[in-house]
């Protein structure tokens, strides 16, 4: 095994706290579009970043709920990728792990 991987594994083994920084790109590998991706169908007409605000919800709750339901359906249809599995495995072994997205 690569020496750097062994050293990283040892650091994780003895760590008292671990922080895992990730973002939407980790789920994009599984097929979940990010806010910056070109959306399709009805959602191509809306700016995703503007839908994900309290102001958007106040202005049109049905639209915002529909957008989140669409995203939930997409997320339910995919499988975790190696990045998800690695983050979950690290978090499962570290006594005080925090995942920040």
pLDDT at 16: 85
Instruction: Compute the half-sphere exposure of residue 93: CA atoms within 13 Å on the CB side of its CA.
Output: 12
State residue 85's pLDDT score. 95
For residue 28, what pLDDT is reported?
A: 85
Q: How many domains does the chain have?
A: 1
Backbone angles phi and psi of 94, in degrees to 5 = -85, 135
Confidence band of 96 (pLDDT split at 50, 70, 90): confident
Lowest mean pLDDT among 43-47, 53-57, 68-72, 81-85: 43-47
Rounded mean pLDDT, 79-90 = 93
Q: What is the pLDDT of residues 48-65, one digit of tens each?
A: 778 889 999 999 999 999
Provide the domain limits for residue 71: 3-100
Average model confidence (pLDDT) across the chain: 86
Q: What is the pLDDT of residue 40?
A: 67
Q: Is the pLDDT of residue 80 over 70?
A: yes
């Amino acid at each position: 095994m690569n020496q750097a991987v062994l050293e990283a594994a040892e650091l994780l083994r003895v760590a008292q706290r671990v922080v895992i920084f990730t973002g939407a790109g980790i789920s994009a590998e599984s097929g979940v579009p990010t806010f910056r991706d070109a959306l399709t169908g009805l959602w191509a007409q809306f700016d995703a970043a503007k839908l994900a605000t309290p102001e958007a919800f106040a202005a049109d709750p049905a639209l915002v709920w529909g957008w989140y339901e669409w995203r939930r359906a997409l997320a339910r249809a995919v499988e975790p990728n190696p990045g998800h599995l690695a983050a979950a495995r690290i978090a499962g072994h570290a006594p005080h792990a925090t995942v920040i997205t």
